[in-house]
Amino acid sequence: MTCVFPLALLFALAASESIPPVKVAPGKWRNLPIEVDTVPLRVQANFKVLDGGPRVRALLLRREEAENYWHNRPYRAEEATSYEQDGFLGCWLTEPGSYELVIDNMFEAHAYATVELNIGYVRGTPLTQSKPLPTPTRKLVVTLSFLLFAFIAAPAGYALRRAFKPGWGRF
């Protein structure tokens, strides 16, 4: 019973929307605006190119960065996929604002791409947040791991050496 409530809460915080297939012209892109007012928010997008069309990629950009992307200037994506027939993009957004999910058909600009897109949103704090260890702690972990390996490997190596000594017989 105690496990059911957090699971129900997680489903209550998650939402998803299925969008009609998006048609992207050769050498072009299509954008879908995403407004974020509560943070943190995880945006998840699954995409699949229908009818074996060209490979596309998905990018999640802040609105200002999307303007740079559209005008062929340097931009910084919050998250991006490689060019694929189907893929997944997921990103935790920590700042409110206007974002754009861009479907890009620039790589194989020979045919239209009809893309099936499913976007999901999860509100709340990430269940796991990994933080890099401080440098002294990382060095300690690496040193202890090496010593543990040596402690295990040395007796095994000694036993193997004795087993293969001349005069003991070989297999």
Task: Kindly report, residue by residue over 99-157, the tens digit of the pLDDT.
Answer: 999 999 988 778 999 999 999 998 877 666 567 778 889 999 999 999 999 999 999 88
Residue 62 has pLDDT above 60, yes or no: yes
Q: Do 122 and 14 touch, CB atoms closer than 8 A?
A: yes
Other beta carbons within 10 angstroms of residue 104's beta carbon come to 21
Query: Looking at residue 53, what is its pLDDT?
Result: 81
**Mean pLDDT, residues 59-68:** 95
Measure the CA–CA gap between 162 and 171, rounded to whole angstroms.
14
CATH architecture observed for domain 9-123: Sandwich (2.60)
CA 62 → CA 38, 58, 76, 155, distances in Å?
15, 13, 8, 57
User: Could you tell me which residues are beta bridge partners of residue 12?
Assistant: none
Q: Are strands 113-123 and 41-49 parallel, antiparallel or unpaired?
A: antiparallel
Measure the CA–CA gap between 125 and 151, rounded to whole angstroms.
41
Measure the CA–CA gap between 5 and 7, rounded to whole angstroms.
5
Residue 158 has pLDDT above 80, yes or no: yes
**Share of residues in the chain with pLDDT > 90 (%):** 60
Measure the CA–CA gap between 9 and 28, rounded to whole angstroms.
40
Q: What is the pTM of this model?
A: 0.64
Query: Looking at residue 130, what is its pLDDT?
Result: 65
Q: Do 50 and 66 touch, CB atoms closer than 8 A?
A: no
What residues does each domain of the chain span?
9-123, 131-164
Q: Which has more confidence, 18 or 58?
A: 58
Please state whether the peptide bond connecting residue 136 to the residue before it is cis, i.e. omega within 30 degrees of 0: no
